[in-house]
Amino acid sequence: MATDVTRAVLTDDDAEGEGPLRRSRYAERLLAPLSLVLLLGFWEFVVHHYAINAILLPPPSKIAQALASGLASGLYLKHFLVTVGEAGLGFCIAAVSGVIMGTLVTQFWLLERTFYPYLVALQSMPKIAIAPLIVIWFGYGGTSKVVIAAMISFFPILVNVVVGLRTCDRSKIDLVRSLSGSPWQIFWYVKLPNALPFMFAGFNIAIIFCILGAIVGEFVGGEAGLGFLIVAANTTLDVAQVFAVLIVLAVLGVTVFLALQVIHRKVVFWAESDDINRYS
Amino acid sequence: MAVATPLITIAGVGKTYRTTSGGVVKALDSVSLEVQPQEFVVVVGPSGCGKTTLLRILAGLAAASAGRVRLRDEDVRGPRRDVGVVFQDAVLLPWRTVLGNVMLPALILGLDQVASRRRALELLELVGLQGFEDKYPHELSGGMRQRASIARALLHDPSLLLMDEPFGALDAMTREAMNLELLGIWQKAKKTVFFITHSIPEAVLLADRVVVMSARPGRIVETLAIDIPRPRGFEIFGQPRAAGYVTRIREALGGASQGGAAL
């Protein structure tokens, strides 16, 4: 779903083209929503026609009702803010510590030798599996969710920072060295900006992981948040509510992803065109 | 001033590399050369003759395994402020504008920003890039990028300009145009230039003196003063004298590559 939305946003910029081209673009853009309407209609029809129990599969109309009432009562907003807060805080912690740790590991050879093997080993461990432990250690409140979110998004950021700082053109480093630049200047003027595209690739993965981490934390044991809401609705067999919360989650995921894409393109504006030019 | 002290003194310089498989490769073997202030010296040699290694030693980016390199009367032990390097590819930083790239030496060397900015704009005009200050490298052609990198190498007013096959990646037409422009820039900026190429006509066109190197291990096989009046253009190749130089360099290279790697 995320990629569909990105593509729609991307084509927006070049929609200003010639007449016939433009018309076909519009028609093309109608395809996705149209297929959704057809699917929902089919779903509604099947549920009513075969009298499927709403506990198994609620019709789209019921889900829409649940969504509307949840939004109107402010119930979703309250839990939405809890989950966003946990995921956001977790992301900030992971981003800051991932960038600092990645920098230290690549700048100081001894640190790399000492810690990097452990970091790689930890990275290949499914961190979701530790979630119950984290809840025991940090309690049922928001802290445990922040910790889980930070933990699972730390590694994609770290690995990308390390790769980004390492894959630096020898010639760019030589350029600064030839001007008698210090290691710090090499880092600041060349290695760090060179690593930015990689860092953003890590951030893109991490931001989704953070939401995932917060939700899993709320599943395992929580008092608030969209994950908590899903579990609560599940236990009362309010399946329409579960679907409605899933829609809210999907919207959250897509929004966050798109926002990061915009920032990404603003910050590392050179990355794509430079790669194309280098081989031309 | 007539008996000027050489700007560069290279005395018996050798360089050996240890390969990962444990072997030892001799890249340079007792190279000796003196370069006078404001002289334009061009080094020609087959690929892998160590000419880039020699330039890296001069730039202080690599250490010699034997012999000494002196700039005026100081040993070269590392990169120096009074040297500007132009690399094979322009090596512009894609996240900085053209002006930002040309200003880079000022940032690294901690020079006065206002004065450097003024100088950067002058240099961009000198290399014919006025109006492109705020463009990014990916918006420039290959020739324009290399011009920006020449402006960058001149920013901190080095007395020595090291150029490592700066036009090797350009197409023939752009390359010839850049050769003539470099001559113009050199005549205005009055720098000592140490220029590496494997193009013989380029060497004859540009040089006061051409140094011919042999294939690995790199040795100097011939040094040839190019006695053609300046300003020069490509019309010099209509003269028998220029054609004679080209032939002599080609012969020196031919003899040099015997027993070594093919040209």
Phi, psi of A244 (to 5 degrees): -60, -40
- Mutation target vs B (from A169, A171, A172, A175; most B CBs, 10 A cutoff): A175
From the list B43, B53, B47, the residue with the least C-alpha distance to B262 is B47
CB contact under 8 A, B61 and A178: yes
Query: How many C-alpha atoms does B43 have within 13 Å on its Cβ side?
Result: 30
Distance between CA atoms of residues B18 and A226, nearest Å: 61
CB contact under 8 A, A176 and B138: no
Q: What is the pLDDT of residue B198?
A: 87
- Mutation target vs B (from A177, A178, A191; most B CBs, 10 A cutoff): A178
Spell out the SS3 assignment of B192-233. Answer: EEEEEECCHHHHHHHCCEEEEECCCCECEEEEEECCCCCCCC
Distance from CA of A262 to the nearest CA of B (A): 17
Phi, psi of B74 (to 5 degrees): -120, 140
**Range of A7-11, A113-117, B233-237 with top mean pLDDT:** B233-237
Average pLDDT over residues A129-154: 92
From the list B201, B219, B211, the residue with the least C-alpha distance to B259 is B219
CA A156 to chain centre: 11
Residue numbers in A near B63 (CB within 8 A): none
Residue numbers in B near A180 (CB within 8 A): 60, 78-81, 108-109
Q: Which residues of A110-135 are buried (b: 16+ CB within 10 A; e: fewer)?
A: eebeeeeeebeeeeeeebbeebeebb
Q: pTM for the whole thing?
A: 0.79
Q: How far is CA B84 from CA A274, B80, B161, B191, in A?
A: 25, 9, 5, 10
Per-residue pLDDT for chain B (263 aa), expressed as one digit of tens each?
A: 445 688 899 988 899 888 888 888 888 888 899 999 999 999 998 887 888 899 999 999 999 889 999 988 888 888 988 899 999 889 999 999 999 999 999 999 999 999 999 999 999 988 889 999 999 999 999 889 999 999 999 999 899 999 999 998 888 888 898 899 899 889 888 899 999 998 999 999 999 999 999 887 888 989 999 999 888 888 898 889 999 999 999 998 886 555 444 33
Token digits of residue A1? 């779903």
Distance from CA of A176 to the nearest CA of B (A): 7
Q: How far is CA B62 from CA B15, B18, B59, B70, B95, in A?
A: 9, 14, 8, 14, 28
Q: What is the pLDDT of residue B3?
A: 56
Chain A residue closest to B137 (CA)?
A: A274
Nearest to A180 among B80, B95, B104 (CB): B80
Distance between CA atoms of residues A62 and B147, nearest Å: 67
Q: What is the pLDDT of residues A198-236, one digit of tens each?
A: 999 899 999 999 999 999 999 998 889 999 999 999 999
Average pLDDT over residues A69-88: 93
Number of Cβ atoms within 10 Å of the Cβ of A101: 19
Q: Which residues of A146-177 are buried (b: 16+ CB within 10 A; e: fewer)?
A: bbbbbbbbbbbbbbbbbbbbeebeeebbbbbb
Q: What is the pLDDT of residue A18?
A: 52
Q: What is the pLDDT of residue A14?
A: 46
H/E stretch holding B106: helix B104-109
Q: What is the pLDDT of residue B257?
A: 53
Query: How many C-alpha atoms does A150 have within 13 Å on its Cβ side?
Result: 19
From the list A123, A160, A267, A13, the residue with the least C-alpha distance to B95 is A267
Which residues neighbour A56 within 8 Å (Cβ) at sequence distance 6 or greater? A239
Distance between CA atoms of residues A138 and A149, nearest Å: 13
Q: What is the pLDDT of residue B263?
A: 38
Nearest to B89 among A171, A196, A273 (CB): A171
For B229, counting Cβ atoms within 10 Å of its Cβ (0-12 exposed, 13-18 middle, 19+ buried), the class is exposed
Q: Under a CB-based contact definition with an 8 Å cutoff, are residues B28 and B50 in contact?
A: yes
For B212, counting Cβ atoms within 10 Å of its Cβ (0-12 exposed, 13-18 middle, 19+ buried), the class is buried
Q: Which of A121-135, A260-274, B87-101, B168-182 has the lowest mean pLDDT?
A: A260-274
Tell whether the torsion through CA atoms of A107, A112, A118 and A122 is positive or negative. positive
Which residues neighbour A112 within 8 Å (Cβ) at sequence distance 6 or greater? A105, A106
Complex ipTM more than 0.90, yes or no? no
Q: What is the pLDDT of residue A20?
A: 58
Q: What is the pLDDT of residue B261?
A: 41
pLDDT at A160 over 80: yes
What percentage of chain A reaches a pLDDT higher than 70? 88
Number of Cβ atoms within 10 Å of the Cβ of A191: 23
Distance from CA of A163 to the nearest CA of B (A): 19
Distance between CA atoms of residues B192 and B37, nearest Å: 6
CA A234 to chain centre: 25
Q: What is the pLDDT of residue A179?
A: 93
Nearest to B91 among A171, A269, A277 (CB): A171
From the list A149, A157, A132, the residue with the least C-alpha distance to A210 is A149
The domains located in chain A, with CATH, are 62-270 (1.10.3720.10)
Chain B residue closest to A176 (CA)?
A: B108
Chain A residue closest to B140 (CA)?
A: A277
The domains located in chain B, with CATH, are 8-82+158-257 (3.40.50.300)
Reported confidence tier of residue A169, pLDDT bands at 50, 70, 90 = confident
CA A107 to chain centre: 28
